[in-house]
Amino acid sequence: MTFQFKNNRTAWLDGPSAQCSELPAAAPQPPWRLVLLGAPGVGKGTQAELLHQRLGTCHLSTGDVFRAASCRSALEQSPAMTAALEHMRRGELVPDSTVWEIVKERCGCLRCHGGFVLDGFPRTIAQAESLKELMEKEKISLNAVVDYELPVAEIVSRISGRRTCKDCKAVFHLAQKPPQKDGLCDHCGGPLFHREDDRQEAVIVRLQTYERSTAPLIDFYKELGLLVCVPAVGTPDEIYERTIGSLNAGFIH
C-alpha cells in the first residue's frame, strides 16, 4: 500500500518553532518507528524514502537538516545549529553533544502519530543512549533497527562510480546510471564531475570512520533485541521487499 500523504517535514527541517502544514491521518494500525543503519553507499536514504511512501512514516534525515540550515540566515538558526554549521565549514565532525541538541529540539517529530524513519542518527553509542533515554521519557519505543549490509568492494564501486552535475547537482553512475552523453548531465546539459569525497581513497577513509564510530551500534541494538539485518543487494524495490519481509517476520508490530 502506498500512502498519498507527503509530509513536508517543516518541523524537522526548520526546528521546534515550526509546524508541518500537513500531518498524516491516524493510521489504521500502530505506526512504525525505525532507525536505519549501514555504511555510506548502501542506500539508506533510498530505503528511507520508500518506507516513507509506502508505510506513511516520516523520513527524518539529519543530513537534510544540515543542508536546509545552510541555506538560511543566521537569524533563522538555533544556537546548536549555528555551532554545527561552524564545525562543518571548518571541515570538522559535528560533536555528539551538538548533534544531540539538534535532534532534541525536534523531539516532537518523534511523537508524530505517523511514525518515523531515522536516517543518519544515531551515529555513535553516546547518541544511541541519549535517544533511548529520551524515548523512554516520552513513553515511545522503537519497533526495530535495520542494518543494511553490503560487501566493502561493492560499496567502494557504488560510491566511486558516481558523477555529479556541477549545475543542477543531479547524480549519475558510470556503470549503473550512465549519462546519455559522456560527461554531460541528461537534465540540464551541465558538466559532470567526480566529487572529492566520492573518490576511492576518500571512500575508504569514510568506511574506516564508520567502522570506528557507527558499527558498534550493531551490537548495542542487538543486545536490545531490535536489530534486523538486511542484505542491500539488488534493486531498491527488492531491498525494500526484503526489509518489510524481515520486519514482519521478526517483530510483532
Question: Catalytic site residues?
Answer: 44, 123, 162, 195, 206
Q: What is the DSSP string of the chain?
A: ---------HHHHH-TT---S--PPPPSSPPPEEEEEE-TTS-HHHHHHHHHHHH--EEEEHHHHHHHHTTS-GGGS-HHHHHHHHHHHTTPPPPHHHHHHHHHHTHHHHT-TT-EEEES---SHHHHHHHHHHHHHHT---SEEEEEE--HHHHHHHHHTEEEETTT--EEETTTB--SBTTB-TTT-PBEE--GGGSHHHHHHHHHHHHHHTTHHHHHHHHTT-EEEEE--S-HHHHHHHHHHHHHHH---
